[in-house]
Amino acid sequence: MEETNIIVITGANTGIGLETVKSLLRSSQKYHILLGGRNFEKARLAAENSTSKATSQSSVEPFEVDVESDESIQRAFEAIAAKHPRVDCLINNAATSGACFDSYIQDGSITTRQAWNKSWDVNVTGAHIMTLTFLPLLLRSRDPRLLFITSGLSSLQDASDASNPKNIVPPPGLPKTQPFAGYRSSKAGLNMMMVEWAKSLKNDGVKVWAVAPGLLATSLGGNTELLKKLGAQEPSLGGDVLRGVIEGKRDADAGNVVREYLTPIQPW
């Protein structure tokens, strides 16, 4: 009898997270997907809607988790551990494009320090503590997998490439605006954290990746029509990219930032 893989994914009631849930439901493999959201009711509705038209053997179960709260993460762990013997794949997805707070600096709604601290809290610290907390369940899997969702904007090599027309150098003088500096910095930090986890868990048999799903026209990214004009693809493609990693497509590239555009491994 085929074993059901247990997947935990944070921030999955919308955006790339929800598209990953839908993609897994389209798979011929059998999953029990634990769909996490900060608001349980939103997570419940997302779980219900994702399975309403699906003809899958897989199942979806909502749970509440706020990755900015250690107490919320611990409660989520205890609730899941009480019902499930293990976790086969943990996807730290809560920190996607929605965790970009740089624009709020420009409109004055939060300070620079608040924006940067929040970017790091959601994108890096929350994902780290989520991983640390759920590790006992992950290590019970026969084939444990750990994914961190990063961004193409996180590459230090790409950001410092003088030949890249996207790297605009402003004229001298003030003011200086850095539209995505906090977000990009936090995602680069996330990549380093992934490397540290990959080293720490190598002898435990855990495969670890950061995944850059590409520019996608999700509601979390803001104006979806504008994003499409900039070349954004359908969000469902991002879900399929993550499913490919979950199902073994990128096993040879574990320990790297992987993607399905330009080069298959994103430069550091």
Q: What are the CA-CA distances from residue 234 to residues 42, 93, 228, 249, 250 (Å)?
A: 22, 18, 8, 21, 21
* pLDDT at residue number 206: 98
Whether the bond between 175 and the residue before it is cis, its omega within 30 degrees of 0, is: yes
d(CA 268, CA 266): 6
- Candidates 37, 26, 33, 29; CA nearest to 7 is 33
Residue 120's CB is within 10 A of a number of other CB atoms, namely 19
Count CA atoms within 13 Å of residue 205 on its CB side: 8
Active-site pick, 58, 118, 119, 187 = 187
* pLDDT at residue number 62: 98
Domains (range + CATH), the chain:
5-258 (3.40.50.720)
Q: Which two tokens stand for residue 130?
A: 């989520």
Residue pair 119/185 in contact by the 8 Å Cβ criterion: yes
> Is 151 a residue of the active site?
yes
DSSP conformation letters of 144-193: -EEEEE--GGG-HHHHT-TT-TTSPPPPSSS----TTHHHHHHHHHHHHH
Please give the chain's pLDDT, 268 residues, in tens. 568 999 999 999 998 999 999 999 999 999 999 999 999 999 999 999 999 877 789 999 999 999 999 999 999 999 999 999 999 999 999 865 456 787 788 888 899 999 999 999 999 999 999 999 999 999 999 999 999 999 998 999 999 998 988 788 889 999 888 878 999 999 999 999 999 999 999 999 999 999 999 765 455 444 455 444 545 566 668 899 999 999 999 999 999 999 988 899 999 9
> Is 187 a residue of the active site?
yes
* pLDDT at residue number 223: 47
Strand order in the sheet with 207-211: 59-64, 31-37, 5-9, 89-92, 145-149, 207-211, 257-258
Q: Which two tokens stand for residue 231?
A: 């070349």
Active-site pick, 50, 141, 151, 154 = 151
Active-site pick, 56, 183, 186, 207 = 183
* pLDDT at residue number 98: 52
d(CA 79, CA 179): 39
Burial 184-200 (b: 16+ CB within 10 A, else e): bbbbbbbbebbeebbee
> Is 261 a residue of the active site?
no
The pTM (predicted TM-score) of the whole model is 0.91
